[in-house]
């Protein structure tokens, strides 16, 4: 049994990719018999995803970063708070997610006397934050005994600023939660074929390109519905206005969809579409859709191409190109058998990313690092 501290720089009460990753790791480590605690800034202390134990450190505030909003803690008291937690818990392994995001993870890495492992989740074209702090990253990077990237694109991104040997261990998917069998949304099962988008309403997610693509689709295949599911206020009115002008009654906008309801949306969809323009390290929504038995149309960006093979689980379109997205959508809309065969292959591919496999890979990596350090 190991005593493991999982550290997230992001608000634990605000669901997101890194938060789900940390919560699932904690859950599966606990099932393996390890003693696990999560350290994170928390706005609402009552939020839990399983039965995990969370130690709140810092109060998160929203900071615009990389085309999205990062909810992180910024306080001069954080190093002191972190030191108290580490002195009390005496973790064998401290696993930091996005180790160089200010300032909880940075404070933990500086104060830690344990074996330190870092997972790098992000993938952007460039980072001014990392570029300005290359020398600091190099010094602190020496304190990371193990370095994980969730994909090759994530590894290539962080390697620009911190040269090291990275172990690639992907994100995981809950194949018991996201699965083909289960309830759907009755109101959308009316004979129209459903095209689904899931994600934040941000420019880099490509919602505008998807709406334009669907306006091209309707000329040859009018019997469809576009369902746009996700949070976001800044661009919502713009996208809704665009959809009304170009698609009339063929577009439906929801707000934030809960984790419990998300599989219903994937199962209701005939095609899942993710037309992001970049900045995706892995493509978690693609794997969730595949696990749910839904064929995928996505853009051919590194993070998406790392989990989906063109012509197998779905189709890859050119990014920033509504015509290319429309052509891929039309190919699937007009071929039910192709949709079914891609859905079947998608389920098989998604099973490789199940959390049981991913968490075991992480524990094996911990064990390997510990043995090397002893040895």
- The CATH code of the domain that includes 69 is 3.40.50.2000
Task: Give the model's pLDDT for residue 125.
Answer: 67
User: Does residue 278 belong to any structural domain of this protein?
Assistant: yes
In the chain, what is the straight-line distance between the N-terminal and C-terminal CA atoms, in Å?
Answer: 19
The parent domain of residue 113 ranges over 3-172+354-374
Query: Structure tokens of 102?
Result: 């200010």
Give the DSSP per-residue string, 211-267.
HHHHHHHHHH---EEEEEE---STTHHHHHHHHHHHHGGGEEEE-PPPTTTHHHHHH
Q: Looking at the 3D structure of the chain, how many domains does it have? A: 2
CA distance 143 to 194: 49
Q: What was the pLDDT predicted at 264?
A: 98
| Residue 38 covered by a domain | yes
pLDDT at residue 15 in the model:
86
pTM (two decimals): 0.92
Residue 179 counted as domain residue:
no
Same domain? 366 vs 341: no
- Are 264 and 136 found together in one domain? no
Do 130 and 267 lie in a common domain? no
Does 159 lie in the same domain as 121? Answer: yes
Domain assignment present for residue 267? The answer is: yes
Residue listed under structure tokens 């994980």: 148
Both tokens assigned to 296: 């995928």
Looking at residue 329, its pLDDT comes to 98
Residue 177 in any domain: the answer is no
Same domain (yes/no): 200, 168: no
| 47 occurs within a structural domain | yes
Residues 336 and 197 in one domain: yes
Query: What is residue 66's predicted lDDT score, i.e. its pLDDT?
Result: 62
Distance separating alpha carbons of residues 314 and 287, to the nearest angstrom: 11
Same domain, 45 and 128: yes
**Do 15 and 146 share a structural domain?**
yes
User: Cα 224 to the chain's mean position, in Å?
Assistant: 28
Residue 181 lies in a domain: no
What integer pLDDT is reported at residue 63 of this predicted model? 85
pLDDT tens, per residue, the chain with 375 residues: 999 999 999 999 988 889 999 999 999 999 999 999 999 999 988 889 999 999 999 999 988 766 678 899 988 899 999 999 999 999 999 999 999 988 899 999 999 999 999 999 988 766 666 766 677 788 888 999 999 999 999 999 999 999 999 999 999 999 999 999 999 999 999 999 999 999 989 899 999 999 999 999 999 999 999 999 988 878 899 999 999 999 999 999 998 899 999 999 999 999 999 999 998 999 999 999 999 999 999 999 999 999 999 999 999 999 999 999 999 999 999 999 999 999 999 999 999 999 999 999 999 999 999 999 987
In contact, 41 and 72? CB cutoff 8 Å: yes
Same domain, 76 and 141: yes
Q: Do 47 and 91 reside in the same domain of the chain?
A: yes
pLDDT (0 to 100) of residue 231: 85
The pLDDT score that the predictor gives to residue 123 is 82
- Do 190 and 166 lie in one domain? The reply is no
Q: Are 126 and 134 contacting, i.e. CB atoms less than 8 angstroms apart?
A: no
Could you tell me if 250 and 270 lie in one domain?
yes
Phi-psi category of residue 35: left, alpha or beta, with phi > 0 → left and psi -120 to 50 → alpha: beta
């Amino acid at each position: 049994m190991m005593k493991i501290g999982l550290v997230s720089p992001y608000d634990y009460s605000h669901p997101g990719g890194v938060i789900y990753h940390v919560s699932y790791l904690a859950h599966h480590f606990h099932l393996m018999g390890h003693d696990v605690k999560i350290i994170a800034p928390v706005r609402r202390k009552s939020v839990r995803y399983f039965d995990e134990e969370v130690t709140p450190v810092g109060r998160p505030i929203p900071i615009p970063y990389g085309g999205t909003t990062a909810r992180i803690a910024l306080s001069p008291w954080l190093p002191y708070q972190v030191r108290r937690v580490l002195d009390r818990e005496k973790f064998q392994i401290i696993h930091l997610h996005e180790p160089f995001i200010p300032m909880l993870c940075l404070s933990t890495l500086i104060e830690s006397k344990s074996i330190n492992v870092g997972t790098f989740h992000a993938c952007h074209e460039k980072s001014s934050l990392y570029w300005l702090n290359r020398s600091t990253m190099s010094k602190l990077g020496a304190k990371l005994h193990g370095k994980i990237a969730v994909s090759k694109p994530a590894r290539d991104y962080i390697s620009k600023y911190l040269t090291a040997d990275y172990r690639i261990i992907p994100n995981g998917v809950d194949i018991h939660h996201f699965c083909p069998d289960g309830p759907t949304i009755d109101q959308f099962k009316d004979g129209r074929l459903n095209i689904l988008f899931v994600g934040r309403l941000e420019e880099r997610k490509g919602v505008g390109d998807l709406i334009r693509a669907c306006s091209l689709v309707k000329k040859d295949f009018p019997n469809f519905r576009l369902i746009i599911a996700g949070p976001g206020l800044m661009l919502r009115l713009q996208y809704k206005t665009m959809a009304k002008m170009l698609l009339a009654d063929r577009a439906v906008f929801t707000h934030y969809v809960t984790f419990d309801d998300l599989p219903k949306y994937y199962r209701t969809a005939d095609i899942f579409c993710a037309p992001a323009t970049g900045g995706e390290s892995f493509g978690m929504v693609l794997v969730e859709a595949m696990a749910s038995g839904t064929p995928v149309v996505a853009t051919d960006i590194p993070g998406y191409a790392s989990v989906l093979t063109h012509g197998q689980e779905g189709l890859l379109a050119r990014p920033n190109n509504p015509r290319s997205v429309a052509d891929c959508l039309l190919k699937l809309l007009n071929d039910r058998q192709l949709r079914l065969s891609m859905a079947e292959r998608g389920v098989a591919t998604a099973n490789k990313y199940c959390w049981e496999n991913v968490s075991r890979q992480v524990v094996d990596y911990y064990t390997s690092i510990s043995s090397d350090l002893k040895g």
